């Protein structure tokens, strides 16, 4: 079997067109969605991500505000900036780019963002809402994965889903979203014994471990859907995922490539969440 490619770039482009239409409608009512992004320090990868978020805002007609703070900024200063943005009616989404320097308490920072503007979906209140299936901001990468499957016509109820990786940003929440859609979910991680035993049962496998080519053909059931969340560089410096694409795509039914798979969906869902926040602000 040769897997069908799930083209995240095309699906993201389609979703962005729909978002731009909604932004226009909202602007005609006098509200322009606004996203504030806080970048602390000079992490090169973070700067690239933040610039992409600004560009996406511009392309969709939203306002973006980039706040750059030096590596040595105090926790107090950062919290005070977030407090100011919480009260700014022109700002509908607040995102603090992670990671932040070690002298600042990440939990405190996440919890200081108003849950009404937490477009990352990282605030414990919003995580609780997601777990109990309430209206909330869903974390962007997990949400993007669910949209990729929906747009590809892949059903979820009753399927065996195996998530490899248990980060707060991707692994844990994506498993929860699958559970909310009636899948049977297994989490695997670095302490899992006999990984293959689990992954070979997967109708849908999500790889989110951050290790190049970690998932190989022997981990995959024939015809499975394989979602690769990894963004790594191999020894040659080339961008690659957590899945050994060439061999796995010979066995899987569907597969997301890297790049042009999950990646483009993350920022798209961030734009969607910012639009949602702006829309909901009208009714308050
Ligand atoms: N760093 C890596 N991914 C993310 C993300 O989705 N949100 C934030 N705030 N920081 C990140």
Residue 237 lies in a domain: yes
Q: What is the CATH number of the domain that holds 61?
A: 3.40.50.10860
Judged by DSSP in three states, 220 sits in coil
Do 187 and 235 sit in the same domain of this protein?
yes
Which two three-digit tokens encode residue 24? 């226009």
Report yes or no: 277 and 138 within 8 Å, Cβ to Cβ.
no
CA distance 119 to 161: 26
120 has catalytic annotation: yes
Do 152 and 227 sit in the same domain of this protein?
yes
DSSP 98: S
Do 259 and 153 sit in the same domain of this protein?
yes
Q: What pTM value is reported for the model?
A: 0.97
Q: Structural domain tally of the chain?
A: 2
Do 143 and 107 sit in the same domain of this protein?
no
Spot the catalytic one: 15, 97, 159, 203. Answer: 97
Ramachandran bin of 174, using left for φ above 0, alpha for ψ from -120 to 50, beta for the remaining angles: alpha
Residue 253 lies in a domain: yes
Residue 201 lies in a domain: yes
* Atom of ligand 1 lying closest to residue 139 CA: 6
Do 246 and 144 sit in the same domain of this protein?
yes
Do 162 and 259 sit in the same domain of this protein?
yes
Structural domain including 172 reads 139-263
Do 228 and 172 sit in the same domain of this protein?
yes
53 has catalytic annotation: yes
State how far the alpha carbon of 248 is from the alpha carbons of 63, 142, 184, 218, in Å.
Answer: 41, 22, 23, 8
Do 91 and 165 sit in the same domain of this protein?
no
Q: Say which residues have a Cβ less than 8 Å from residue 131's Cβ, sequence separation at least 6.
A: 176
CA distance 81 to 264: 29
Probe target for ligand 1 pocket from 54, 113, 120, with the most ligand atoms within 8 Å of CB: 120
Residue 277 lies in a domain: no
CA distance 222 to 3: 10
Note the pLDDT of residue 283: 86
pLDDT of the chain, 284 residues: tens digit per residue: 799 999 999 999 999 999 999 999 999 999 999 999 999 999 999 999 999 999 999 999 999 999 999 999 999 999 999 999 999 999 999 999 999 999 999 999 999 999 999 999 999 999 999 999 999 999 999 999 999 999 999 999 999 999 999 999 999 999 999 999 999 999 999 999 999 999 999 999 999 999 999 999 999 999 999 999 999 998 899 999 999 999 999 999 999 999 999 999 999 999 999 999 999 999 88
Of the residues 83, 116, 149, the one at which a domain ends? 116
Do 107 and 223 sit in the same domain of this protein?
no
232-233 and 239-240 strand pairing: antiparallel
Residue 259 lies in a domain: yes
Q: What is the CATH number of the domain that holds 162?
A: 3.40.50.720
Do 189 and 259 sit in the same domain of this protein?
yes
């Amino acid at each position: 079997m040769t897997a069908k490619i799930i083209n995240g770039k095309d699906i993201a482009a389609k979703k962005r067109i729909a978002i731009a239409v909604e932004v226009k409608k909202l602007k005609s009512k006098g509200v322009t969605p606004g996203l504030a992004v806080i970048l602390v320090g000079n992490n090169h990868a973070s700067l690239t991500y933040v610039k992409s978020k600004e560009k996406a805002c511009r392309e969709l007609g939203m306002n973006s505000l980039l706040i750059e703070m030096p590596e040595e900024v105090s926790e107090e200063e950062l919290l005070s900036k977030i407090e100011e943005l919480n009260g700014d009616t022109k700002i509908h989404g607040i995102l603090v780019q992670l990671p932040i320097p070690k002298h600042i308490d990440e939990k405190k920072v996440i919890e200081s963002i108003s849950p009404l503007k937490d477009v990352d979906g990282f605030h414990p209140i919003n995580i609780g809402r997601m777990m109990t299936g309430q209206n909330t901001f869903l974390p962007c990468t997990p949400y993007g994965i669910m949209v990729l499957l929906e747009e590809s016509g892949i059903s979820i109820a009753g399927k065996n889903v195996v998530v490899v990786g248990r980060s707060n940003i991707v692994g844990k929440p994506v498993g929860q979203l699958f559970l909310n859609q009636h899948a049977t979910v297994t989490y695997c991680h670095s302490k899992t014994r006999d990984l293959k035993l689990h992954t070979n049962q997967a109708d849908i496998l999500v790889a989110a471990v951050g290790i190049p080519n970690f998932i190989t053909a022997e981990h995959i059931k024939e015809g499975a859907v394989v979602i690769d969340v990894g963004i790594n560089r191999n020894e040659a410096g080339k961008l690659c995922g957590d899945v050994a694409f060439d061999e796995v795509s010979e066995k899987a039914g569907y597969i997301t490539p890297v790049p042009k798979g999950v990646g483009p969906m993350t920022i798209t869902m961030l734009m969607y969440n910012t639009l949602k926040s702006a829309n909901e602000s009208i009714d308050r």
